[in-house]
Amino acid sequence: VGVDPERSILFRQSEVHEHAELFALLGMATPLSWLERVPTYKGQIAELGEGIDTYGFLGYPLLQTADIVLYKATKVPVGQDQLPHLELAREVVRRMNHLYGPVFPEPQALLAEFPLVLGPDNRKMSKSYGNAVTLGMDDEEIDGLVMSMITDPQRVRRDIPGRPEVCNVFSWHRLFRAPQAEIDEVYRGCTTAELGCVQDKRDLAARVRDTIAPIRERRAALLADPERIDAILADGAERARAIAAPVLAEIKGAMGL
Ligand code: SF4
């Protein structure tokens, strides 16, 4: 369970100042209109209110670009909703390379098996929307979240057959790795109205609880040892800086700074 700090570099972004510095440099070459047209910008302001309508929020996709290109990454694991951000990163890379010479490779998307996961309210699952399954959730919280899930809106009575293909509960069975035979059984039970939504959600909640429990325990064990976390992050920051510093120096040299 979890990410192995020996194989993957884990660090606090704020401890590697090269990210902030490259963010500022990229900002000098990026037209404002490119940032304003990123679809999540207007969408999230509409969802979360004008309080987040700041330069930092507008420029956030550019900071993500810095996070990628500082390591000359060629592949980036992203969800479907992040594709416009990656497209922006690619445009910025092309512009920087055109202006200052070929410093950065153009990053490509690496889409996951489930590129778009919806929360129980059928909106994109997101911590900001409070509709996410988090790794520290206890069983009661998981039950509450799963039992609140929106199902097939046409299935207003228990004896009406459902449509698993439009129901997020059904997608979550796959997301939480139900065996194919059980997925087939949910499909059959739903479409014949033998299976009710309440029962199906209870079964799903049990599956989510079983998935999260070992992660929650491992997380609790790590949190009980904050010195180990600090040591992992300090080591990660040093390893990240060893890669990032020469790349920042290279682009600054190309820019004549
Ligand atoms: S039985 Fe399951 S898959 Fe079918 S509509 Fe209800 S919750 Fe969705």
pLDDT at 191 over 70: yes
Alpha carbon nearest to ligand 1 atom 6, residue: 197
**pLDDT for the residue 39:** 83
**The two structure tokens encoding residue 37:** 């047209």
SS3 category, 111: strand
- Rounded to whole angstroms, how far apart are CA atoms 194 and 203? 14
The 3-state DSSP class for residue 227 equals helix
**Under 8 Å between Cβ of 45 and 53:** yes
pLDDT tens for residues 206-221?
A: 999 999 999 999 999 9
Q: How much is the average pLDDT of 94-114?
A: 94
Nearest atom within ligand 1 for CA of residue 197: 6
The predicted model gives 16-37 an average pLDDT of 95
Helix axes 197-223, 180-191, angle to 10 degrees: 150
Question: What is the separation, in whole angstroms, between the first and last Cα of the chain?
Answer: 44
DSSP per-residue codes, 72-134:
T-SEEEE-GGGHHHHHHHHHHHHHHHHHH-S-SPPPEEEE-SSS--B-TTSSBP-TTTT----
Rounded distance from Cα 146 to ligand 1 centre (Å): 12
Specify the pLDDT at position 193: 97
Q: How far is the CA of 196 from the centre of ligand 1 (A)?
A: 7
Structure tokens at 171: 């997608």
3-class SS of residue 51: helix
Task: Give the model's pLDDT for residue 73.
Answer: 97
- pLDDT given at position 126: 83
Q: Which atom of ligand 1 is nearest to the CA of 152?
A: 5
Q: Is 205 in the pocket of ligand 1 (CB under 6 A)?
A: no
Q: What is the largest CA-CA distance in the chain?
A: 72
Q: What is the mean pLDDT of residues 86-104?
A: 97
Cα-Cα-Cα-Cα torsion 29, 92, 240, 18, nearest 10 degrees, comes to: 10
Would the pLDDT of 204 be above 70? yes
Does pLDDT of 118 surpass 70?
A: yes
This prediction has a pTM of: 0.79
Whether the per-residue pLDDT at 247 is higher than 90: the answer is yes
Q: Is the CB of 64 under 6 A from ligand 1?
A: no
Encode pLDDT of 51-81 as tens digits.
Answer: 778 888 899 999 999 999 999 999 999 888 8
Nearest to 144 by CA among 175, 110, 119, 181: 119
DSSP string, 15-29: G-THHHHHHHHHHHH
Tokens, residue 98: 């055109």
For a ligand 1 pocket test, name from 163, 170, 203 the mutation site with the most ligand atoms within 8 angstroms of its C-beta: 170
Between CA 32 and CA 50 the distance in angstroms is: 18
Supply the pLDDT for residue 1: 65
Residues above pLDDT 90, as percent of the chain? 79
Least confident of 28-37, 190-199, 233-242: 28-37
d(C-alpha 78, C-alpha 256), whole Å:
33
Residue 70 φ then ψ, to 5°: -60, -20
